[in-house]
Amino acid sequence: MLIRDIPRTELARLLRGGVHLDTGAFTTHLRWDVPDLAGAFAETYADYPVETDPVVDDFRVAIARAFGGLHLLARKAQAFINGRPAFPPFPAGFAFPMLEATLNWCIARHVFRYVTFHAGAVERGGRAVILIGPSGSGKSTLCAALAHRGWRLLSDELVLLRPEGPEIVANPRPISLKNEAIRLISALAPQARFGAAYEGTIKGTIRFLRAPDEALAKAKVGAAPALVISPSFRPDGPDELKEMTKAKGFMWLVENSVNYYTALKSGFDALSGLTDRCGFYELSYHDLDSAVAAIDRLHDALPGGQEAA
């Protein structure tokens, strides 16, 4: 059943006991007793399937009220992964952003069957574009823009590489946008569906953008990697697209992987397979329209890319 088909009071009751949330690549057992969370979850994950019957989960996540006098007085909550505290207690009002952070942490720290990158990925015509780079480089903003301009969202924040193929595995979840990026995407894609605004977080104002319908309809369909792009948003600078050598691109992947160093030789082989297939580019852009157009052109120049355009 889909979350949107469950009455809100029933959903709150189910979540106290636990549900199995299917995001594409992973199934997570979710349970909480924090009232602030149900509304935001129902709104942002409306179109995701959940199961109440037992399934084999990849992770167990719980968000619970933090105990201890001061935490209770301050209305704090705490996240648990597989029964262990994941982060220090946080204000209960930020339970939804912390749930998202906890789900990311699960993937970053507990998944070893894929090589995982701090990145975003979209797909068109069966070809995946990986947007890679440090926090603040604008990759989530660009990922959100592409996901509303003819590309399918594969995942944001963490990208999963299955070495066999190779394939970028889909795991579409809400995109976390901050501050100015919220205004930019609202202007670019009026149809974009945002959840509530969380103000005063350590990263400023955060809003979560719902994954578009197409992303959820193909939540278990991956794509072959074709391009790796490092975007950087420069409001006053000229647009620039620069090809990078494959070996330097490989090192980029290494630097932005969260688990390459645990994969050893198999990680090296997986990244080699990805590098063989991909072109690497640095993209500086001053507005989202020009960045989307530049990536469209790169895609269309790929073998067979024009037909898929």
Partner 1 sequence: MKGDIDPERNRPNKGLWKARSDGGLSYRCWDGEYVVFNPASGNTHLLDIASGEVLMVLLSEPAGNDRIAERLADFLEVGNDESLKTAVREILDELEELGLIEFTAKC
**Can you give the binding site for partner 1, defined by CB under 8 A?**
245-248, 250-251, 254, 260-261, 264-265, 268-269, 272, 275
Can you tell me the distance from the alpha carbon of 308 to that of 271, in angstroms, rounded to the nearest whole number? 26
- Output 194 or 268, the one with its CB closest to partner 1: 268
Query: Phi/psi at 241 (nearest 5 deg)?
Result: -125, 120
Query: Phi/psi at 185 (nearest 5 deg)?
Result: -75, -35
DSSP category for residue 163:
T
- Output 17 or 261, the one with its CB closest to partner 1: 261
CA atoms within 13 A on the CB side of 163: 14
- Output 48 or 250, the one with its CB closest to partner 1: 250
Q: Which two tokens stand for residue 127?
A: 């070809």
- Output 220 or 248, the one with its CB closest to partner 1: 248
Shortest distance, position 164 Cβ to partner 1, whole Å: 18
Shortest distance, position 246 Cβ to partner 1, whole Å: 4
Shortest distance, position 282 Cβ to partner 1, whole Å: 16
Shortest distance, position 192 Cβ to partner 1, whole Å: 38
Shortest distance, position 277 Cβ to partner 1, whole Å: 12
Q: Which two tokens stand for residue 50?
A: 């959940």
- Output 101 or 302, the one with its CB closest to partner 1: 302
Place of tokens 């592409």: 146
Can you tell me the distance from the alpha carbon of 268 to that of 283, in angstroms, rounded to the nearest whole number? 26
Residues 6+ apart with CB under 8 A from 140: 120, 156, 157, 175, 176, 177, 181
The CA–CA distances, whole Å, from 83 to 23, 112, 147 equal: 21, 20, 35
Shortest distance, position 265 Cβ to partner 1, whole Å: 6
